[in-house]
Amino acid sequence: MDYLPNIIFAIILIAGIGYFAKNVQKLIRNIKLGHKVDASDHKSERWQNVMRIALGQSKMVRRPVSGFLHVIVYVGFIIINIEVLEIIIDGIFGTHRVGLSILPESVYGFLIGSFEVLALFVLVSVIVFWIRRNVIKLRRFMANEMKGWPKSDGNIILYFEVVLMVLFLVMNATDSVHIIEATGTTFQDLGAGNVISQYMAPWFNGLSENTIVIIERTAWWLHIVGILAFLNYLYFSKHLHILLAFPNVYLGKVVPKGKFNNLDAVTAEVKLMMDPDADPFAAPPEGAEDDVPAKFGASDVMDLSQTQLLNAYTCTECGRCTSECPANLTGKKLSPRKIMMDTRDRLEEVGKNIDANKGEFKDDGKQLLGDYITNEELWACTTCNACVEACPVSIDPLSIIMEMRRYLVMEQSAAPMELNTMMTNIENNGAPWPYNQMDRLNWKDE
Partner 1 sequence: MSEELIVPTMAEMMAEGKQPEILFWVGSAGSYDDRAKKITRAFVKILNKANVNFAVLGTEESNTGDVAKRAGNEFLFQMQAVMNIEVLNAYEIKRIVTCDPHSFNCLKNEYPSLGGNYDVIHHTQFIKELISSGRLTLEGNTYKGKRITFHDPCYLGRGNGVYDAPRDVLKKTNATLVEMKRHKRTGLCCGAGGAQMFKDAEPGDKEVNELRTEDALETQPEIIATGCPYCNTMMTDGVKFKEKEAEIKVLDIAELIADA
369 within 8 A of 346, measured Cβ to Cβ: no
Q: Which does 11 bind (CB under 5 to 8 A by kind): ligand SF4, partner 1, none?
A: none
Q: To the nearest whole angstrom, how small is the minimum distance from the Cβ of residue 338 to ligand SF4? A: 9
Nearer to partner 1, 9 or 379 (CB): 379
Confirm or reject binding of residue 48 to partner 1 (CB under 8 A).
no
Count Cβ atoms within 10 A of the Cβ of residue 286 and give its class: 0-12 exposed, 13-18 middle, 19 or more buried.
Answer: exposed
Q: Per CB under 8 A, which of residues 83..142 are in contact with partner 1?
A: none
Residue 97 CB-density burial (10 A; 0-12 exposed, 13-18 middle, 19+ buried) = buried
Judging by beta carbons within 10 Å of its beta carbon (0-12, 13-18, 19+), is residue 91 exposed, middle or buried?
A: buried
Return the DSSP state at 259.
P
CA 214 to chain centre: 38
Query: Binders of partner 1 among 262-321, rule CB under 8 A?
Result: 262-263, 266-267, 269-271, 273-274, 296-297
Task: Give the nearest distance from C-beta 319 to partner 1 in angstroms.
Answer: 15
Long-range contact list for 95-102, CB < 8 A, 24+ apart? 95/181, 96/178, 96/180, 96/181, 97/175, 97/180, 97/182, 97/187, 100/180, 100/182, 100/183, 100/190, 101/181, 101/182
- Write down the least CB distance from residue 238 to ligand SF4, Å: 8
Shortest spacing between CB 325 and partner 1, in angstroms? 9
Judge contact between 204 and 173, C-beta under 8 A.
yes
Site mask for partner 1 (CB under 8 A), range 367-406, x = bound:
---------x--xxxxxxxx-xxx-----------x--xx
- Residue 15 or 266 with smaller CB distance to partner 1: 266
164 binds, among ligand SF4, partner 1, none (CB under 5 to 8 A by kind): none
Out of partner 1, ligand SF4, none, what residue 23 binds, judged by CB under 5 to 8 A for its kind, is none
What residues make contact with ligand SF4 under the rule CB under 6 A?
Answer: 315-321, 325-327, 334, 336-337, 340, 381-387, 390-391, 393, 395, 397-398, 401
Q: Which residues contact 305 (CB under 8 A, 6 or more apart)?
A: 34, 35, 36, 37
* Residue 234 contacts which entry, ligand SF4, partner 1, none (Cβ below 5-8 A, type-dependent): none
Report the site for partner 1 in 227-256 (rule: CB under 8 A).
Answer: 255-256
Give the whole-angstrom CA distance, residue 294 versus residue 310.
Answer: 22
Angle CA 59–64–65, to nearest 5: 125
Give me the residues that bind partner 1 (CB under 8 A), please.
Answer: 255-260, 262-263, 266-267, 269-271, 273-274, 296-297, 324, 326-327, 329-334, 376, 379-386, 388-390, 402, 405-410, 415-416, 418-419, 421-423, 426-427, 430-433, 435, 437-446
